Amino acid sequence: MEQFRLLLAVVLCVAVFAIWSFFFSPPPKPIPDQAALTAETAAKPEEAPKMQEPDKKADVVSQPGVQMAMDRPAKTYSVDTPFFTAQFSDRGAALTHFTLKNYKETNKPDSPLKEMVSPEAFSGILQSGTANKSIKGMDEALYDAENAQPSVTVSDKETKLSFLWVSPEGIRVDKVFTFYPDKPFFKYVVGLTNTSNINFKDGLILSMTDHYGAKKKMGFEGPAAYLGKALETVDTEKLKEKDSDLSGKITWVASLDRYFMKAIIPDAQQQNGHLQSKKNADGTVRILFTGDEKIIKPGEKSEFAFDIYIGSKRLETLKTIGKKLDAAVDFGWFDIIAKFCLLVMNMIHKLIPNYGIAVILLTVLIKLLLWPLGNKSYKAMGAMKKLQPEINKIREKYEHDKTRMNQEIMALYKTYKVNPMSGCLPLLAQMPIFIGLYRMLYESVELRHAPFYGWITDLSAPDRLFNFSFSIWGIDPPTGIPVLTLIMGVTMFLQQKMSPPAGGDPMQAKMFLYFMPVMMTLIFVNFPAGLVLYWLVNNIISIAQQYYTQKSNS
């Protein structure tokens, strides 16, 4: 039994390595969006690469033989709202640029605003077509922008941008975008008027294209949908072998990354829909939403309406929009704990507008909440430390009789009413809070580019003092001195110094005294500064509590 703490320490070390490898590794640099869907017959070597042959039921590209309107260059139209600036092309009436006004690409003063549509997505996003290809060329046709100005500012009233095109089959297509001065999303309505003499029977497809790069170890990036009453996500790695299909009552579909999202929210008449995710040869992923099939008789019109949200995954904003959009913020197993911590952190930030201080005060509040558990753990450690000389004597006396040694040590525990596990159980009970807080600090957009003090100008990035021109093994660029992480390592050393030696073995005690702090420092060196700050403050408070508890019971 005296080996229990040694075994537990080894297991915890392995667990830390596993958590780092599979959950907490830093994300790879984002890869810009690639080309969206494009018509194979319209693609030319000097314009755009060919796309792979689409499946029959889930595509929005034009078909061979369709004559496109190529009599003039495409025109662009921009809309400026208090929340974003959007740019549309009249070719396909697609969204080609979208910048967020409250977010930048980097935390540098001269950084451009955050672009949500990559310039390499030459056909844009929010392309539309029909599931059974009843309307050919819908996504690549040149639309007429009805009474539209090249640039419009939305300030005090809602503004519409309308596009019109009539297909060779006699279907009039109206695409109307409505923007609001007080809402961070816009409405998109596709109206189909049957001017032919036969019934139109088909469903509308709305699509987006994105590139997610390598699979993340922590959090989720990829296509997602709120299906039924739960969030469903698509593993983009599995799309290499097979397309993903989700069907049922779909409240919204989206493309998610660590901090931002692009969401299509169909109206109630289209929620019995279908989401298909397909991986292209160039690594891009196509997200296609198909609503219910509709029958439009000659002379009749039908509309397909959507709310489009392109912005941050800020929980407060998503809850304001509604439509269960806040379900896109998912912190994993301990989601409730993480969201409670996020709520408290934001409340603190409203009083003290510095997220670094908010993280510190949140850590203090959590330590106060867990103070009784910590006291119990440190008292047990103190009792074990007092018994260590007696345990060492028993180890020496029964060195060659392990069975008798264990019996005597257990008798010693019983005599002094010491439970060797009581020092570890309180720590294990705190793990859900620690993990939930970790997830929240890693994924909350509030910490993105949030400054603290001094050299820490971005709590979502590793802390680096100076910026060296050379690389250092184990340190992700930019290379520099990880001051906050090194201080954290020192506090871990002090904690180990104050703890009783594992199993009474001096070599084991020495190993853990140096090994644990060094190992944790190496693991944390590439963690976001917000996470390191939390762990540092947690260590400092734990050292003070442990010192106070041991002095009180000495």
**What is the rounded CA–CA span in Å between residue 194 and residue 207?**
23
**What is the rounded CA–CA span in Å between residue 234 and residue 480?**
37
What pLDDT, in 10s, does the model give residues 189-200? 999 999 999 999
**325, 265 Cβ separation under 8 angstroms:** yes
The answer, yes or no, to whether residue 319 has pLDDT greater than 80, is: yes
What pLDDT, in 10s, does the model give residues 272-310? 888 999 888 888 888 999 988 889 999 999 999 999 999
Long-range contacts: 541-546, Cβ < 8 Å, 24+?
541/363, 541/364, 541/367, 542/367, 542/374, 542/495, 543/491, 543/494, 543/495, 543/498, 545/367, 545/371, 545/374, 545/375, 545/378, 546/374, 546/378, 546/381, 546/495, 546/498, 546/499
User: What pLDDT score does 124 carry?
Assistant: 86
**128, 138 Cβ separation under 8 angstroms:** yes
CA 424 remoteness from chain centre: 32
Q: How confident is the model at residue 418 (pLDDT cuts 50, 70, 90)?
A: confident
The answer, yes or no, to whether residue 421 has pLDDT greater than 60, is: yes
Amino acid at 389: P
CA-CA distances (angstroms) from residue 543 to 45, 411, 540?
66, 31, 5
Q: How confident is the model at residue 475 (pLDDT cuts 50, 70, 90)?
A: confident
What pLDDT, in 10s, does the model give residues 138-171? 988 999 998 888 999 999 999 999 999 999 989 9
**What is the rounded CA–CA span in Å between residue 174 and residue 169?**
15
Show the tokens assigned to 385: 């430390």
Show the tokens assigned to 20: 């780092």
Looking at mean pLDDT, say which of 33-42, 345-354, 412-421 comes out highest.
345-354
**What is the rounded CA–CA span in Å between residue 514 and residue 30?**
36
Amino acid at 485: T
The answer, yes or no, to whether residue 488 has pLDDT greater than 90, is: yes
**What is the rounded CA–CA span in Å between residue 447 and residue 433?**
19
Show the tokens assigned to 508: 């084991």
Q: Which of 226, 285, 253 is nearest to 37 (CA)?
A: 285
Mean per-residue pLDDT over the chain, rounded: 81
What pLDDT, in 10s, does the model give residues 207-258? 998 888 766 667 788 999 999 989 999 988 888 878 888 989 999 999 999 9
Q: Which helix (H) or strand (E) holds 201?
A: strand 200-202
Share of the chain above pLDDT 90, in %: 44
Q: Which of 318, 308, 328 is nearest to 125 (CA)?
A: 308
**Beta-strand relationship, 151-153 and 230-233:** unpaired
| pLDDT mean over 327-344 | 93
Instruction: Label residue 230 exposed, middle or buried (CB < 10 Å: 0-12, 13-18, 19+).
Output: exposed
- Select the more confidently predicted residue: 232 or 53: 232
Share of the chain above pLDDT 70, in %: 82
**What is the rounded CA–CA span in Å between residue 112 and residue 121?**
18
Show the tokens assigned to 476: 């992700």
Q: Which of 416, 24, 441 is nearest to 216 (CA)?
A: 24
Residue ranges covered by each domain of the chain: 76-324
Which CATH fold would you assign to the domain 76-324? Beta-galactosidase; Chain A, domain 5 (2.70.98)
Q: Which helix (H) or strand (E) holds 260?
A: strand 260-266
Q: How confident is the model at residue 119 (pLDDT cuts 50, 70, 90)?
A: low
pTM, entire model: 0.80
Give the chain's count of helices (H) and strands (E): 11, 20
The answer, yes or no, to whether residue 83 has pLDDT greater than 90, is: yes
Residue 378 phi, psi (nearest 5):
-70, -30
- Select the more confidently predicted residue: 353 or 508: 353
Show the tokens assigned to 343: 């709520």
